[in-house]
Structure 1
């Protein structure tokens, strides 16, 4: 897929506009069917806490049959900005990459937490914006076996801003959390630190960035420790 330099300012607004238009086309092609979708991932987290620039837009769908309507190999779609590449498996995801902008991912995945999203206005559109505990739960559940440095930074940022909610959400998935914790222990700390340093981190989170691996690890260890009652 197309590489977008992590130090480049985010074009998430343009990506979201393209994604919103694709959702409108999807609804029309599905005969007006009112399917459920939510806006999640790193960009949604950025909207919540402004921790770093993010270069992709993740849209979560509740029905794999919807993917066929936004697969360019099967469906006629119109784009204000055409994708440089696209990929999908027909059941779990459909990805679009845009030169110089980033990526849009349509992902089929159900909610993992009791309060997965909240109604917010994003770029003039009312959307279900995923909560930070939901965003982190999905990162650990689906990507914990191969966490990227930006995922580690996101977990660390969430530990600072929404620790109790994230810990509570992750306690529902101890096996996935343990797998992620084991994987973090195998990583080269210096590689993680240098890679995170290349992210466009917002001023309020710059000071904590270098310790992201330790912070994320401590959060996961708290999840795995026996819960105490006061």
Structure 2
């Protein structure tokens, strides 16, 4: 439902502005559709940072878009537009740069071809943009990617975040009491074999960060 609403917003924007925004579908729901690890209903749509001027014109409240259901709440900041639907989820339009050279591939979602972000890009964005305040579900998502594709795949993606952001993410991950992480992730609507990751998500995330850091060229010493 929320995906269809987001597509309708883009369509009405295109008709009015005669511009086709370049966007990718990422975040937890896009990851769910690729690795089937947990339930997720929020829709995260990423536009390039150069398109931040589009955000006011994607707002149904100010633009009078005709939608099957209007949001219950709105929040707009520099670079983001959030549409909240009570008891359903959120649609987030986010302007930011990609992390990886090849961040997305074509996938079919509800009969429509879209550029869906790869699992590598999804976890890289989590670490690059909010690794310093990482949440328990982010660790679960990272652990699920490691479980599906291997730690080398995850570390190669995270390496692109750079040393400073990796170090911040490491500190944030290690600051969480393990019992809190496990308790919080046990509340997720976890699917299938991913249930085994609930207790290991923190340690797996930390291991991937360490592997990514170890693969970086050591900083040059200065006299």
Report the TM-score, using the length of structure 2 for normalisation. 0.91
2:43 matched to 1:43? no
Equivalent in the alignment of 2:83: 96
Equivalent in the alignment of 1:3: none
Paired residue secondary structure (1:145): helix
Instruction: Return 5+ residue gaps in structure 2 as ranges.
Output: 218-223
Equivalent in the alignment of 1:175: 164
2:195 matched to 1:202? no
Paired residue secondary structure (2:212): helix
Equivalent positions of 1:15-26 (< 5 A) are 15-26=2-13
Identify which of 31, 46, 49 aligns with 1:60: 46
Equivalent in the alignment of 1:76: 64
Q: Tell me the alpha carbon deviations over residues 79-104 of structure 1, each in whole angstroms, 9 at most, x when there is no partner.
A: 20111101112x31000011121000
Paired residue secondary structure (1:54): coil
Instruction: Return 5+ residue gaps in structure 1 as ranges.
Output: 1-13
C-alpha separation in 2, matches of 1:175 and 1:51 = 29
Task: Count the aligned residue pairs.
Answer: 213
Identify which of 176, 186, 194 aligns with 1:187: 176
Equivalent in the alignment of 1:223: 212
Runs of 4+ in 1 over 6 A off after TM superposition: none
Q: Tell me the alpha carbon deviations over residues 156-198 of structure 1, each in whole angstroms, 9 at most, x when there is no partner.
A: 1111122333211211222111100011111111111100000
User: Structure 1 stretch 18-27 or stretch 193-202: which is displaced more?
Assistant: 18-27
Report the TM-score, using the length of structure 1 for normalisation. 0.88
Equivalent in the alignment of 1:164: 152
2:81 matched to 1:87? no
User: What is the Cα deviation at residue 34 of structure 1?
Assistant: 2.1
The root-mean-square deviation of aligned C-alpha atoms, in Å, is: 1.4
Equivalent in the alignment of 1:111: 98
Paired residue secondary structure (2:62): coil
Contact 2:74–2:82 (8 Å) recurs in 1: yes
Paired residue secondary structure (2:133): coil
Equivalent in the alignment of 2:220: none
